[in-house]
Chains A and B, each alone.
Chain A
């Protein structure tokens, strides 16, 4: 047993976990229609490889990862692709995204499965990563970063410690808890695959001490599966212990460098659910087509956990939880500390959807923010050791340089500061605003840099072409002049005919010029005519003076 370290700040929150954790794991019913967003992960959008009208089998790849930082998407059940179009999805922006709709045929018919099982031990690293990649495995802790990419980045850096994150520090959520209790063996076998792949020296499975049953079951499962150098560690319940950097600090006492990754200090973290999906990929040849979703909160009649197919409409899970209570007023995807509000429940469940939290009318009422009194409670609870009140001051006054001096980008948006603020200032919202503004400014700067470069390049090109043209012209002129001189020399000597023509041309030209000088009609006037003109001029002059007098 290792001695635990701790991180500064954090909060002991009411768990509210019992309402869903006390219920057995249920399997959500197969929906008539699955709506599967093709972008469910951080990274690049996969390429759609099915067309409308096509029949697909359960587990069949329908959108293929384009590169390393991308994840494949699979059909969650068998049926017919009815549409590939934009559909509302669960995203903080509330925007639509491309989804593949499948009308299920009710047979739930699998594609051919050829699990590798124990034979993975004979395969090399590249092949193992390929299997993980093909199964569309992403980090199921919430970030949904493609797991193969995370594991691959460890090629260059030796990872000595593997940390399996079962902390589940957010209140209300219990999907990892129930997974650990129900599928401990799968998690352990998945962890063994990771251990084999990374050749780590030690592994820790970290679980918050508010889940004693999960700790007990996993410890038993470790023994049963002969796991070497692996420990289940009970960590104190204090939000946000489940944050990657916080968890590493607790277990190893090391701080991940601010701009670095855990691999920089020889550590890799994976969520327990990710380990379980790696098990599925190797032992069952099943890609990620379902996940456990906690449906909970004070506005649902029966909180529970559901094994849910990706693409199932959330409203169906709500129905299977016996519906909302009368005073429902909000729905959040994720936990109360970091989840985001959903615009409706008519959205598909994705790989990132760990929890659906319902909120009552009273829970959605916001309190008016008062002025910051600099009490510093936010700084006390900040796990990133920042000065939230100063960040707030500079973010709200758009002094972004100073905000960045105070490490704005080290903020993990855990929400501790907003939770304890006695003035009820939505601090995290200000930080998100500041970060977005800074990103937008940087993008603008990049754009203008590119535009400037392009402009300069164009100017240079035009100048270059002009110079080339002039040079060519000069050369041509020189050549012509040379030629002419040569020819003239020849002409003098040899051609009287040409001389005669030239003389004729000169005569014609002279004649033309003299003709161009036409006489004006005022040139040769008689005396009378001149007099008349003078009189007219005199009248004109008089008129002019008259009008000027009138003006004055």
Chain B
């Protein structure tokens, strides 16, 4: 009997693949996303919806232009993950076009310009984020008070009208709806050379503190952390990047906090503030743009943690995750070059 010899060893490979990895990432986002929905309302879901629709459309168009198989590539779900991460990073009252522009840039400039999944040197979601961050600084502040302390929360219709037609409810003004995030507020106060103790007790900020860190944000971060731990448990992500990123941020903030607690935020505020857990477990761990050697990943993660601290403390933006990630993306090839592990028998 004759046989085909086209296959070579190993003869059996895993039956799941990239699609399952991406699906697990999406599932792990659910708890944190639910918390965001709880605290910031319908805007979160609209953002997700806009980003997903635009992402799939953009990817389809580009794949057609590049003459690549469309359905096959869409099925890897990577565009969906990029869209979700980007949407969760954008303010919940951002106008629809802001999210759309960010998504188009993420997938075109951030991903397909370099050759699509696997070839992008930068995290696509962060590319999209930075584009709108620099281009539309005002719209990027459209956050609102967490629902638990917000006297004027918006319902479905009001949010829809605001985001798609810029129509405010008749009884409200922008100032009564939008609110600075805790990190944003603290930054403003600190930049005016106020002491932290005065800032935190000020009228504008006192209501923003929860049990551990920013109200609402502490829960959002803890739930993203839970999702991240599940990703680690299912071996979808490697522990090195999140652990080194959080450790470096905690350590460096602890040192400064210990020396001068009046000008530097506590490690807890840092770790549970802003998008840290989302970044640590879902964004920084994007394998394509991260460092790939074991030691390199530790350096890469630590670099992001350090840069986040530097930008938050001394930079021009309240949260510096996107810049920190992109800067370390740039450094990843160099890190990889210098951290090749010793092969077996070469010690």
390-407 of chain A: CB within 8 A of chain B: 390, 405-407
Given A370-B76, A385-B342; A426-B8 close (CB under 8 Å): yes
A324: CB under 8 A from chain B?
yes
Contacts of B259 in A (CB 8 A): none
The residue from A255, A384, A389, A407 contacting B292, defined by CB atoms under 8 A apart: A389
B118: CB under 8 A from chain A?
yes
A256: CB under 8 A from chain B?
yes
B1: CB under 8 A from chain A?
yes
In contact, B17 and A341 (Cβ under 8 angstroms): no
Contacts of B294 in A (CB 8 A): 376, 379
27 cross-chain CB contacts under 8 A: A245-B345, A258-B343, A330-B3, A330-B7, A332-B9, A332-B11, A339-B11, A341-B3, A341-B7, A341-B11, A342-B3, A343-B3, A370-B118, A371-B117, A373-B287, A380-B238, A385-B341, A385-B343, A387-B293, A390-B292, A390-B336, A410-B346, A413-B9, A423-B17, A423-B18, A424-B14, A424-B17
A345: CB under 8 A from chain B?
yes
Contact flags A311-353 to B (C-beta < 8 A → 1, else 0): 0000100100000100011111010111111111110000000
In contact, A329 and B4 (Cβ under 8 angstroms): yes
Most buried by B among A337, A345, A370: A370
> Which residue on A lies nearest to B336, using beta carbons?
A390
A7: CB under 8 A from chain B?
yes
Q: How far is the CA of A7 from the CA of B347 in the complex (A)?
A: 14
The residue from B21, B118, B344 contacting A372, defined by CB atoms under 8 A apart: B118
Of the stretches A70-78, A112-120, A358-366, A499-507, the one at the interface is A358-366
Q: How far is the CA of A376 from the CA of B21 in the complex (A)?
A: 13
Q: Within the complex, what minimum Cβ distance (angstroms) separates A542 from chain B?
A: 74
The residue from B8, B13, B21, B297 contacting A341, defined by CB atoms under 8 A apart: B8
Besides A367-B13, A384-B344, 18 other A-B contacts (C-beta < 8 A)? A245-B345, A249-B344, A330-B4, A330-B7, A331-B3, A341-B11, A345-B1, A364-B4, A376-B292, A379-B293, A379-B294, A383-B344, A385-B341, A415-B10, A422-B16, A423-B18, A428-B10, A429-B8
Contacts of A341 in B (CB 8 A): 3-8, 11
The residue from A318, A345, A421, A428 contacting B8, defined by CB atoms under 8 A apart: A428
Contacts of B61 in A (CB 8 A): none
A19: CB under 8 A from chain B?
no
B116: CB under 8 A from chain A?
yes
Chain B: interface residue count, which band?
Answer: 35 or more
The residue from A259, A339, A424 contacting B9, defined by CB atoms under 8 A apart: A339
In contact, A422 and B18 (Cβ under 8 angstroms): yes
> Which residue on B lies nearest to A93, using beta carbons?
B5
Count of A interface residues, CB-CB < 8 Å: 73
Q: How far is the CA of A68 from the CA of B294 in the complex (A)?
A: 44
> Which residue on B lies nearest to A254, using beta carbons?
B345
B2: CB under 8 A from chain A?
yes
The residue from A258, A332, A337 contacting B344, defined by CB atoms under 8 A apart: A258
1-51 of chain B: CB within 8 A of chain A: 1-18, 20-21
The residue from A94, A371, A420, A421 contacting B5, defined by CB atoms under 8 A apart: A94
39-56 of chain A: CB within 8 A of chain B: none
Q: Within the complex, what minimum Cβ distance (angstroms) separates B329 from chain A?
A: 12
Q: Which A residues form the contact surface with B (CB < 8 A)?
A: 7-8, 92, 94, 245, 249, 255-260, 315, 318, 324, 328-332, 334, 336-346, 357, 359, 363-364, 366-368, 370-376, 379-380, 383-387, 389-390, 405-407, 410, 413, 415-416, 418-424, 426, 428-429, 432
> Which residue on B lies nearest to A417, using beta carbons?
B10
In contact, B12 and A336 (Cβ under 8 angstroms): yes
Contact flags B113-144 to A (C-beta < 8 A → 1, else 0): 00111110000000000000000000000000
B325: CB under 8 A from chain A?
no
In contact, B4 and A422 (Cβ under 8 angstroms): no
Most buried by A among B1, B11, B287: B11
Q: How far is the CA of A364 from the CA of B8 in the complex (A)?
A: 10
The residue from B10, B238, B288 contacting A373, defined by CB atoms under 8 A apart: B288
In contact, B341 and A387 (Cβ under 8 angstroms): yes
In contact, A340 and B18 (Cβ under 8 angstroms): no
Q: How far is the CA of A345 from the CA of B117 in the complex (A)?
A: 42
The residue from A336, A370, A432 contacting B18, defined by CB atoms under 8 A apart: A370
Q: How far is the CA of A416 from the CA of B12 in the complex (A)?
A: 10
Contacts of B340 in A (CB 8 A): 387, 390, 405-406
Contacts of A373 in B (CB 8 A): 18, 117-118, 287-288
Main secondary structure of the interface of A (DSSP, over half): loop
In contact, B345 and A419 (Cβ under 8 angstroms): no
Most buried by A among B2, B117, B343: B343
Given A341-B5, A410-B346; A419-B10 close (CB under 8 Å): yes
The residue from A260, A415, A422 contacting B20, defined by CB atoms under 8 A apart: A422
B249: CB under 8 A from chain A?
no
Contacts of B17 in A (CB 8 A): 367, 370, 422-424
In contact, A410 and B344 (Cβ under 8 angstroms): yes
Q: How far is the CA of A370 from the CA of B18 in the complex (A)?
A: 8
Most buried by A among B2, B115, B290, B344: B344
Q: Within the complex, what minimum Cβ distance (angstroms) separates A431 from chain B?
A: 11
Contacts of B290 in A (CB 8 A): 374
Contacts of A342 in B (CB 8 A): 3, 5
> Which residue on A lies nearest to B343, using beta carbons?
A407
In contact, A371 and B6 (Cβ under 8 angstroms): no
In contact, B1 and A410 (Cβ under 8 angstroms): no
Contacts of A332 in B (CB 8 A): 9, 11
Q: How far is the CA of A8 from the CA of B1 in the complex (A)?
A: 41
Q: How far is the CA of A294 from the CA of B342 in the complex (A)?
A: 37
Given A345-B1, A385-B341, A422-B18; A374-B288 close (CB under 8 Å): yes
Contacts of A363 in B (CB 8 A): 11-12
251-279 of chain B: CB within 8 A of chain A: none
Contacts of A7 in B (CB 8 A): 344
In contact, A419 and B8 (Cβ under 8 angstroms): no
Contacts of A338 in B (CB 8 A): 9-10
Contacts of B344 in A (CB 8 A): 7-8, 245, 249, 255, 258, 383-386, 410
Most buried by A among B1, B238, B336, B347: B1
43-93 of chain B: CB within 8 A of chain A: 72, 76
Most buried by A among B5, B17, B288, B345: B345
In contact, B9 and A337 (Cβ under 8 angstroms): yes
Contact flags B237-257 to A (C-beta < 8 A → 1, else 0): 010000000000000000000
Q: How far is the CA of A56 from the CA of B13 in the complex (A)?
A: 46
Contacts of A380 in B (CB 8 A): 238
Q: How far is the CA of A341 from the CA of B287 in the complex (A)?
A: 34
